[in-house]
Structure 1
Amino acid sequence: MARVGAPASAHDGPSRLVALTAFGTNPGALLGHVHVPKNLPAGAPLVVVLHGCTQTAASYDHGSGWSRLADRAGFAVVFPEQTHANNPNRCFNWFASEDTAQAGGEAESIAQMTETMIARHGLDRGRVYVTGLSAGGAMTLAMLATRPDLFAGGAVIGGLAYGTATGVSQAFDRMRGHGDTSDAALVELVRSGARGHDGRWPTLAIWHGGADATVSVSNADTIARQWRGIHGVNATAVREERRGTAIHRIWSDAQGRDVVEDWTVPGMGHGTPIDPSRGERLGAAGPYMLDVGISSTAIIARSWGLIAAPDAAVAAKPAAIDRVAKIAIPVTPKPAGKPRTAAPAGIQATIEHALRAAGLMR
């Protein structure tokens, strides 16, 4: 593996990641980067981390702090990376059915990277997890849906439910919070993606900003409905608490296992919540890396058993959840060379306008 030493952007430091090579046929034409702590023992866990639009693997690692936490806690991390050739805004193509199926696209490339890391470093197949932001969050759900045998759990940040968009036009609608789908249909989308899976389903944590102007926070409810249905848990059987500024809701299955969690950060926009100056001191503020005084990286890792729980949890009756639905949608399709559903006339101008409004383009 070759060292990747160049900064991801002007405000990022040198990358802590190395390139992952020879990981399979790579039908989705993705790049792979990894961080493996020194002297990592056999049987360690693995976390797969998927960046958001306009980001790189290195910039998302710099902002979220996953590789630094891996050094402290003893687990490996793999960062699949989108390319400009696949998507001009570096979005994982969560709205393209050919990239979100078990075989033949980006989801298969991510699975190949994951399998390669398990085999190459002797990692624990029973402790493999996946997380991502925005388009990476939507692709996180694609991985959980299509490879429930591979992942024990996942965490989606500012993402969208699996299978609910099959093209750019539908992607815009879903990100706005339009085009609701029945609970039964949402569950069937996942079961169809899993191709007859009859084992245990991965657990899921959902994170969303209450003032997200890029992906409507109503999508968090849609994801929760989809995965409560998969786990067969009752929507009313919920526990609620406040953790710092965040509202935390938890649903458990009949065996008492927490299987679906929902974290809402009131007033937070579109991005990954971090806490670089307190607590675990992970990550760095930047575009879509939001210092709101709560480290989603640490909380997610703790829920997966990767780091120890604190001595006492802070819990209180939650205030009303302020959920705001607005838009700004970087979901450009892949250009020629890897076939995609054609975008409607004028869609590029609309996307560029949205990107400028969101501060993603000049």
Structure 2
Amino acid sequence: MAKSLSPDWDAQLRQIRRAQFQPAKQIRTWLERLELAPPATHRQRHTAPSEAGPTELPGNWQSLNLGLTPLPGELVPQLSYRLYIPSGAKGALPVVVMLHGCQQTPEALAAGTRMNALAEREGFMVAYPQQPLRRSVHRCWQWFDLAAGQGGREAQALALLIDELATRPDVRIGEIYLAGLSAGAAMAALVALRYPDKVAAVGLHSGVVIGAADSPRAGLRAMHEGSAIEPALLLDAAGVTPGGPAMPAIVLHGMADEAVHPINGRLLTQQFLAYNGLGGSLGGQIESANDAPLGKDGEVREARFGRWNRDLVRLVEVGGLGHAWSGGDATVPYHSSIGPDASWLIWQFLRQHKRAA
């Protein structure tokens, strides 16, 4: 059985939840070092939430369960997930595995991102694993605790889900992708870099630098401050070994994010640059993308990094966007109409990359 959180840990997890509504601490030393313009001071606003379910679509919206071999003391573990298969699907299709954030469900993420509608148009499948309440009462993926029975177990379970999807005759083995929002983005980064042979590319929205936390308290600090440790050095702490198969990544972050400081978007970008052997510094390349403050809501700044005229790592910063999915359904919490359609940007990037079967 997964061990219960201590009262102190549970209180710290509640802090992580509340952090989505608290101002983020300004990290002046990092801002100066990375020349990051301070985020806008206004809060992201949402309209009243609607029922968090995907719009009725003609495809097949399934509820499935993946049985897991129990660890010592673990009782009948399983990972439940939703799977969207577009109508008229013929032959094998790509699949995007989407990881929700804290206080979210697969249905809410599907509705807010409109990813199923995009899958229907573009012809790919979408899988939405759900963090069980027995592991986290706030449904947070435990990216901040990589112990074998906690976040490390969750990363392993997600890797096993990818293996399960790869056995399906209607899935293209070399086109299995990962994407996530907030805690889901941090966990997606961990899974992609720990199991790079299973994932063709990854999309990270409002994620947190990995390897900087080993407890809920440290996770909260990383959310608000990033890390003063060189991002590339944190890969080892996250259990990541550079030099494996390349891992293409697109990183998106709102510059008015008061829950996960925008510095995290750049730190994650640096980690993927280091992993892919492109250097660990954004350097002059980000300056060439115009590092002036983003003045208007929805204004975008991009930086692209790669080799042989092919993007391997891409950073997208969105002015005026808070802790929310860019260009999503603003009636669903943690999604905003501000900014470009993140689902489309992520899919455009992912589909360019394939993993050798």
The TM tier, using the shorter chain, reads 0.7 to 0.9
Deviation at 1:220, TM superposition (A): 1.2
1:224 pairs, out of 269, 289, 311, with: 269
2:251 maps to what in 1?
206
1:347 maps to what in 2?
none
Deviation at 1:120, TM superposition (A): 1.9
1:123 maps to what in 2?
171
Work out whether residues 177 and 201 of structure 2, in 8 Å CA contact, stay in contact via their aligned partners in 1. yes
Q: Quick check: 1:25 aligned with 2:69? A: yes
Q: Quick check: 1:252 aligned with 2:298? A: no
Deviations 1:226-259 (A, max 9, x none): 1111112243362627996211111113x33211
Deviation at 1:40, TM superposition (A): 2.3
Instruction: Tell me: CA distance 1:284–1:209, structure 2 relative to 1, closer, same or farther (3 Å).
Output: closer
Identity of aligned residues (%): 26
1:11 maps to what in 2?
51
Q: Quick check: 1:158 aligned with 2:203? A: no
Work out whether residues 206 and 323 of structure 2, in 8 Å CA contact, stay in contact via their aligned partners in 1. yes
Question: How large is the Cα RMSD of the aligned pairs?
Answer: 2.8
1:59 maps to what in 2?
108
Amino acid at match of 1:236: G
Q: Quick check: 1:94 aligned with 2:149? A: no
Amino acid at match of 1:88: V
- What is the distance in 2 between the residues matched to 1:224 and 1:244? 20
2:240 pairs, out of 155, 172, 193, with: 193
Work out whether residues 243 and 277 of structure 2, in 8 Å CA contact, stay in contact via their aligned partners in 1. no
Deviation at 1:18, TM superposition (A): 1.6
2:83 maps to what in 1?
34
Amino acid at match of 1:248: E
Instruction: Tell me: CA distance 1:128–1:139, structure 2 relative to 1, closer, same or farther (3 Å).
Output: same
Amino acid at match of 2:69: T
Give the TM-score, by structure 2 length. Answer: 0.73
1:313 maps to what in 2?
none
Instruction: Tell me: CA distance 1:70–1:293, structure 2 relative to 1, closer, same or farther (3 Å).
Output: same
> SS of 1:247's equivalent?
strand
Work out whether residues 209 and 227 of structure 2, in 8 Å CA contact, stay in contact via their aligned partners in 1. no
Deviation at 1:21, TM superposition (A): 2.5
Deviation at 1:140, TM superposition (A): 0.8
Unaligned runs of 5+ in 2: 1-48, 72-76, 353-357
- What is the distance in 2 between the residues matched to 1:98 and 1:176? 23
Alignment of 1:1-362 (within 5 A): 11-13=51-53, 17-25=61-69, 29-98=78-147, 105-189=153-237, 192-194=239-241, 198-234=243-279, 235-236=282-283, 238=285, 240=289, 245-253=299-307, 255-275=308-328, 283=329, 285-305=331-351
> SS of 1:137's equivalent?
helix
- What is the distance in 1 between the residues matched to 2:112 and 2:93? 24
1:349 maps to what in 2?
none
Amino acid at match of 1:31: S
Instruction: Tell me: CA distance 1:289–1:42, structure 2 relative to 1, closer, same or farther (3 Å).
Output: same
Unaligned runs of 5+ in 1: 1-8, 276-282, 307-362
- What is the distance in 2 between the residues matched to 1:216 and 1:13? 28
- What is the distance in 1 between the residues matched to 2:117 and 2:62? 14
Deviation at 1:162, TM superposition (A): 2.1
- What is the distance in 1 between the residues matched to 2:351 and 2:154? 28
Deviation at 1:26, TM superposition (A): 7.2
Looking at both structures, which has the greater relative contact order when contacts are Cα pairs under 8 Å and sequence separation is at least 6?
Answer: 2
Deviation at 1:30, TM superposition (A): 3.3
Work out whether residues 252 and 259 of structure 1, in 8 Å CA contact, stay in contact via their aligned partners in 2. yes
Deviations 1:161-185 (A, max 9, x none): 2222111121121011154112441
Instruction: Tell me: CA distance 1:14–1:49, structure 2 relative to 1, closer, same or farther (3 Å).
Output: closer
- What is the distance in 2 between the residues matched to 1:106 and 1:140? 11
Amino acid at match of 1:120: R
